[in-house]
Amino acid sequence: MGDEVRDLAGRAIFVCDDDGPPITREADAVDLLGALWGVEVEWLVLPVARLGPDFLLLRTGLAGAVIQKFVTYRLRVAIVGDIAAEIAASKALADFVRESNGGDRVWFVSDLAALEARLARR
């Protein structure tokens, strides 16, 4: 299907396709930002399938560096997919997800329907 801009709850959302290039290093975030240049969106949706194997291992610093890049460019980020096993295995990740979900810049949600419902409540 490819990456695409969608409207969810009245907001412009850039949804990355599951089959796109994985985010395995900070430069991949820069590449994605380049692809978004000139595209007016509020949110970037990154499916869990696009995250490299080290992304959710917080000790690598990859998640923080990548997310910071997007937030610096005023993009809100939604990580979409099931990360229950990763959360169960890491208290640090569980804390990070909980804190992120308490804010308005970075959310972890199970699917696009959950993201849409959450956006509709804002």
> For residues 80-115, b (16+ Cβ closer than 10 Å) or e, as one string?
bbebeebbeebeebeebbeebeeeeebbbbeebeeb
Digit-by-digit pLDDT tens for the chain (122 residues) are 679 999 999 999 999 999 999 999 999 999 999 989 989 999 999 999 999 999 999 999 999 999 999 999 999 999 999 999 999 999 999 999 999 999 999 999 999 999 999 999 98
Q: Where are the domains of the chain?
A: 4-116
CATH of the domain spanning 4-116: 3.30.750
pTM, to two decimals:
0.93
